[in-house]
A and B are shown apart, each in its own frame.
Chain A
Amino acid sequence: MLNVSGLACSRGERRLFADVGFSLAAGEWLHVQGENGSGKTSLMRLVVGLSPADAGEIVWRGEQTPSQEFRRDLIYLGHHAAVKEDLTPLENLRLAAALDGVDLSESDALAALIRLGLRGREELPVRVLSAGQKRRVLLARLLTRPAHLWVLDEAFNALDVAAVKLLGDLIAGHLESGGLAILTSHQPLPVPGGKALVL
């Protein structure tokens, strides 16, 4: 479903990587590995279409990206918290869904937050939550927005043992239902199988 070939990226004068390619079918996931500064995040940003590649192409369901269909099928969670500090987790989740054109009911949003262990925190401003809890608010988006391709950059950072297991289960469930995932992490990931790509 996802075919990436001949991807190259440079930052200023420095060539980060060249001729990177991989393909993922339904149910497969890719573990992007590499040292700090080797271009893992840059690769992720190229794949999702945030930055243009120097060379190469990314094909999703036989179509060149970025396209609106691709964005509809995609969830990208990067390094940023990507939640508004002044809003509550519930508002964050519902407004993020509304911006994507999805009408998320309050009970569905609440269910997602409870699943991620934020029961009793849903009405507090995000600013008073801990780093791990903020991360959980963001991860709740995986439950509220159906998407085929999950691109998660260092998603396991700042999470406690229980949350790491929970996210591992979520990804495994996503793959079982025919989804695709691209993950970066320095730790071994609690997800079975997976292709490896070393930058």
Chain B
Amino acid sequence: MSAFLATVKRDLLLALRRKSEVLTAVFFFVIVTSLFPLGIGPEAVLLKKIAPGILWVAALLATLLGLPRLFATDHVDGTLEQMALSPSPLGLLVAGKILAHWLLCGLPLVLLAPILGLQFDLDASALGILTLALLLGTPLLSLIGSIGAALTLGVRGGGVLLALLVLPLYIPALIFGAGAVEAHIAGLDASGHLSLLAAMLALAVFFAPWATTAALRIALE
């Protein structure tokens, strides 16, 4: 367990030394979600209708921005090799890296979403559902993304391949995440959507680190 926490600490410390890389994803999210209300104009009904989809698509793409770096720098400088040979299970270290990625690329989006949602005329309860959906959904995006990042590690042009590989897998999260907010706005119960998101998250927490570890071992061969 201490190795897990040490990995999280290490990646957070590294991000602190390279703030711009983390802030890119957050700024991307803020700018994209702000451009839509500006471009469409003050049509409250329309904005409210498209808000969940736009916020979710922006969150999805923002997460994708940080993914290629998840393992790439460690692969290039050889620290990933050392992790693979460490007495600590590689799966544990990988899980730590995924958690750090979510803390850096996912959590800021969750915290910003209620503020950005105001631009779309969402009311307080809809903002609450949006935040909750993102809180369940963004870790899922990090977990699924880590498998893609590991599979495309060391591949030339891996960034594009990563997007092609991962975006289709993000679709269920997008449908149920945005669906939860849409259902709530339409006056329906959002708990079904949220439960499904939580179920997918539980599944991913179990399988994604394992699959990522297997992919990393192949990439290191």
Contacts and interface: CB of A to CB of B under 8 A. Distances in A.
A96 interface: yes
Interface in A48-103: 48-52, 68, 71-72, 74, 76, 78-87, 91, 95-96, 98-101, 103
- B-side binding surface: helix, strand, loop or mixed? helix
Given A99-B93, A103-B2, A80 B10 contact: no
A96 B85 CA distance: 12
- A-side binding surface: helix, strand, loop or mixed? loop
A71 B18 CA distance: 31
Interface residues of B, number: 25
B77 A68 contact: no
B85 to A, nearest CB: 5
A68 B87 contact: yes
Nearest to A82: B78
A85 B81 CA distance: 16
B88 A101 contact: yes
Given A83-B79, A95-B9, A95-B10, A71 B85 contact: yes
List the 10 closest pairs (A to B, CB-CB), nearest first: A80-B78, A98-B6, A82-B78, A86-B17, A72-B87, A51-B221, A95-B10, A71-B87, A101-B3, A100-B86
Interface of A: 48-52, 68, 71-72, 74, 76, 78-87, 91, 95-96, 98-101, 103, 125
